[in-house]
Amino acid sequence: MRSLEVLDPGRYALVEDLGRPGYAHLGVTPSGALDTVSLRLANRLVGNPSAAAGIEALLGGLSVRLTASATVAVTGPAVPVSVDGRSFGSHVPVPVRAGQSVSVGTPSTGLRCYLAVSGGIAVEPVLGSRSRDVLSGIGPAPLKGGDVLPLGEPGIPAGADVVVPVRAPAELVVPVTLGPRDDWLDDPAGGLSAWWTVTAESNRVGLRLDGPPLRRAVEGELPSEGVVTGAIQVPPNGLPVVFLADHPTTGGYPVAAVVRAGALSALAQARPGTRVRFRMS
Amino acid sequence: MRWRRCGEDAALLDCESLEQMRAAHAIVSAARPEGVVDLVPGARSLLVIGGVAAAKTLLDDADLRHPPAGEPREVTLDVRYDGEDLTLVAEDAGLSTDAVVELHTEAVYTVAFTGFAPGFGYLTGLPERLRQPRLASPRTRVPAGSVGLAGEFTGVYPRESPGGWRLLGRTSATLFDPHADPPALFAPGDRVRFRAVR
pLDDT tens track for A158-174: 666 667 777 899 999 99
Give the pLDDT of residue B192.
98
H or E segment and range at residue B59: helix B52-60
Name the residue in chain B with its Cα closest to that of A280. B7
Chain-centroid distance of CA A218 in Å reads: 34
The CATH number of the domain holding residue B29 is 3.30.1360.40
For the ranges A90-94, B99-103, B161-165, the one whose mean pLDDT is highest: B99-103
- Overall average pLDDT of the A205-217 stretch: 97
pLDDT over 90 at A234, yes or no? yes
A174 contacts A262 by C-beta, under 8 angstroms? no
Residues B81 and B146 in one domain: yes
H or E segment and range at residue A15: strand A13-16
* CA atoms of B4 and A107, how far apart (whole Å): 40
Q: How many residues does chain A have?
A: 281
Residues B54 and B29 in one domain: yes
Q: Inter-chain contact A225–B119, Cβ cutoff 8 Å?
A: no
DSSP A254-271: -EEEEE-GGGHHHHHT--
pLDDT over 80 at A12, yes or no? yes
Position B68 in a domain: no
pLDDT over 80 at A157, yes or no? no
- Point out the residue among B5, B114, B179 whose CB comes nearest to the CB of A26: B114
Q: How far is B122 from chain A (nearest CA, A)?
A: 10
Q: Is the dihedral of CA A123, A126, A131, A136 positive or negative?
A: negative
Q: How far is B106 from chain A (nearest CA, A)?
A: 26
Give the pLDDT of residue A33.
98
Residues B80 and B168 in one domain: yes
Mutate to test the interface with A, among B3, B40, B160, B177 (most CBs of A within 10 A): B40
Chain B residues with at least one Cβ partner in A under 8 Å: 4-12, 37-47, 49, 113-122, 159, 176, 178-179, 182-184, 186-188
Q: Inter-chain contact B118–A181, Cβ cutoff 8 Å?
A: no
Q: Inter-chain contact B47–A226, Cβ cutoff 8 Å?
A: yes
Q: Inter-chain contact B184–A26, Cβ cutoff 8 Å?
A: yes
pLDDT over 90 at B68, yes or no? no
Residues B86 and B130 in one domain: yes
Across chain B, what does the average pLDDT equal? 94
* CA atoms of A6 and A66, how far apart (whole Å): 9
Q: Inter-chain contact B183–A27, Cβ cutoff 8 Å?
A: no
Residues B36 and B132 in one domain: no
pLDDT tens track for A23-39: 999 999 999 999 999 99
H or E segment and range at residue B111: strand B109-115
* A22 contact B CB<8A: yes
- Strand, helix or coil for residue A154: coil
Question: What are the residues facing A113 on neighbouring strands?
Answer: A57
How many CB atoms are closer than 10 A to CB A58? Answer: 19
Q: How far is A131 from chain B (nearest CA, A)?
A: 13
Question: Range of B170's domain?
Answer: 74-196
Residues of B in Cβ contact (< 8 Å) with A28: 118, 178, 183-184
**Which of B19, B37, B60 finishes a domain?**
B60
Name the residue in chain B with its Cα closest to that of A124. B179
Q: Is the dihedral of CA B161, B162, B165, B168 positive or negative?
A: positive
- Point out the residue among A27, A224, A258 whose CB comes nearest to the CB of B118: A27
Confidence tier at B72 by pLDDT (50, 70, 90)? confident
Residues B54 and B114 in one domain: no
- Overall average pLDDT of the A214-243 stretch: 94
**Which of B60, B84, B109 finishes a domain?**
B60
* CA atoms of A90 and A100, how far apart (whole Å): 17
* A281 contact B CB<8A: no
Residues B192 and B156 in one domain: yes
Position B191 in a domain: yes
Q: Which residues contact B172 (CB under 8 A, 6 or more apart)?
A: B78, B145
Residues of A in Cβ contact (< 8 Å) with B37: 21-22
Position B119 in a domain: yes
**Which of B60, B93, B109 finishes a domain?**
B60
Beta strands across the sheet bearing A94-96: A13-16, A54-58, A112-117, A70-75, A94-96
Give the pLDDT of residue B122.
95
pLDDT tens track for B29-47: 989 999 999 999 999 999 9
Q: Which of A131-145, A185-199, B65-79 has the lowest mean pLDDT?
A: B65-79
Give the pLDDT of residue B86.
98
**Angle A220-A174-A236 (CA atoms, 0-180°, nearest 5)?**
20
Residues B85 and B55 in one domain: no
pLDDT over 70 at A77, yes or no? yes
Residues of B in Cβ contact (< 8 Å) with A138: 118, 178
- Overall average pLDDT of the A196-221 stretch: 95
Give the pLDDT of residue A162.
67
Q: Inter-chain contact A226–B43, Cβ cutoff 8 Å?
A: no
* CA atoms of A235 and A216, how far apart (whole Å): 10
Q: How far is B98 from chain A (nearest CA, A)?
A: 32
Confidence tier at A1 by pLDDT (50, 70, 90)? confident
Domain total of chain B: 2
H or E segment and range at residue A82: strand A81-83
A160 contacts A153 by C-beta, under 8 angstroms? no
Position B66 in a domain: no
Position B69 in a domain: no
The CATH number of the domain holding residue B159 is 2.40.100.10
Name the residue in chain A with its Cα closest to that of B113. A25
Residues B37 and B78 in one domain: no
Position B6 in a domain: yes
pLDDT over 80 at B69, yes or no? no
How many CB atoms are closer than 10 A to CB A233? Answer: 20
Residues B29 and B124 in one domain: no
* A221 contact B CB<8A: no
Position B123 in a domain: yes
pLDDT tens track for B110-125: 999 998 899 999 999 9
Position B139 in a domain: yes
Residues B192 and B95 in one domain: yes
Residues B108 and B182 in one domain: yes
* A145 contact B CB<8A: no
